[in-house]
Amino acid sequence: MNSFFNPFSQGTIKVTDTCNLRCRACTLWRKDYVNSINSDTIINLIKKNKFFNIYSRKKIFNIIGGDPLCSADLPCILSFLKRNNIKINIWTHGIHPYESFEKTFMFSDNFFIYLPSPDPDEYREVSGNNGLSQFKDTVNFLLENKKNIIINFPINTSNIQLLPDVYEIIYEKKIYGLFHYNNRDNFSSDSKKYIKRFYNIRNILVYKSISMDSLCTSFPAKSLNNPVHYYKNFFFELFNSLRQKYTL
Ligand code: SF4
């Protein structure tokens, strides 16, 4: 079955608080703290053979941050997971040298690439980085290396009109998209109807989500953990996967 997620068997590991973007909505890069679960801690757990005492064993792990590619320990952590037959989703914004990606190629299954905006000016404004062209180069580089890519686009009230532009990138590159939005945002009923149109597009998943302050805000944290969202999203995924299976 062709599916982005298997929500009944996935875990999340935050490997770093560090990030080289400066997103407007993010609190992580403003804080000067060391998280209790960082890559040193994870490496120690691995070395002491206690990793699965802390993290439940899952079929899939989402590797998040900050941005996980900012962690020098990432290849070591990924290698451990792969040795344990775990599928690996890496959640990154993609603004890194190609070598950083190459170090993960042996282990990674999917790259969820955060797109702050498909508009160059807004990309800069939202992320504090002039990186839209580098984002596109990264997507091309990963595709040339036959990697699975899912464009991760958090929808809010000020970027909803850009959904067709994001979809254009997904369509042109023949990749997947994950659109997620917080239902508590002030979306008008027309906006909600508009978002729902994307429910019916084959290679797009639309999730309801709530980001968490302690994680990269582009990660749809509570879609994966909140039971209500979890089960709703599971049925969306199942439906979408079946449709892909029988229509591709
Ligand atoms: S939202 Fe994510 S990508 Fe943006 S600065 Fe924060 S951690 Fe980095």
How many CB atoms sit inside 10 A of residue 50's CB?
11
114 lines ligand 1 (CB under 6 A): yes
**Integer CA distances (angstroms), 75 to 18, 28, 78, 97, 136, in order:** 16, 23, 5, 15, 24
Helix (H) or strand (E) holding 143: helix 132-144
What gap in Å lies between CA 10 and CA 38, rounded to an integer?
19
CA 23 to ligand 1 center in whole angstroms: 5
Residue nearest to atom 2 of ligand 1 (CA): 216
Cβ 93 under 6 angstroms from ligand 1: yes
Is the CB of 217 within 6 Å of ligand 1?
yes
How would you class 29 by CB atoms within 10 Å of its CB: exposed for 0-12, middle for 13-18, buried for 19 or more?
A: middle
15 lines ligand 1 (CB under 6 A): no
Amino acid identity of residue 230, one-letter, is: Y
From the alpha carbon of 128, which atom of ligand 1 is closest?
5
At how many degrees (to 10) do helices 120-127 and 132-144 cross?
Answer: 100
Q: In which residue ranges of the chain is pLDDT below 70? A: 1-8, 32-37, 222-248
Q: Quick one: tokens of 198?
A: 């994307």
User: Per-domain residue ranges for the chain?
Assistant: 7-247
Q: For residue 20, which atom of ligand 1 is closest to its CA?
A: 8
Q: What is the pLDDT of residue 1?
A: 35
Q: Which helix (H) or strand (E) holds 105?
A: none
Q: Determine the pLDDT at residue 199.
A: 85
- The encoded tokens of residue 4 equal 């982005």
CA of 177 to the centre of ligand 1 (A): 19
- Ligand 1 and 3: CB distance under 6 A: no
- Say which CATH superfamily domain 7-247 falls into: Aldolase class I (3.20.20.70)
Residue 181 is which amino acid? Y
- The Cα 110–Cα 106 span in angstroms is 12
Q: For residue 19, how far is its CA from the centre of ligand 1 (angstroms)?
A: 6
Distance CA 194, CA 210 (A): 19
| Pocket of ligand 1 contains residue 28 by CB under 6 Å | yes
Cβ atoms of 244 and 2 closer than 8 Å: yes
Q: Is the CB of 167 under 6 A from ligand 1?
A: no
Cβ–Cβ under 8 Å, residues 212 and 224 = no
Contact 55 CB / ligand 1 (< 6 Å)? no
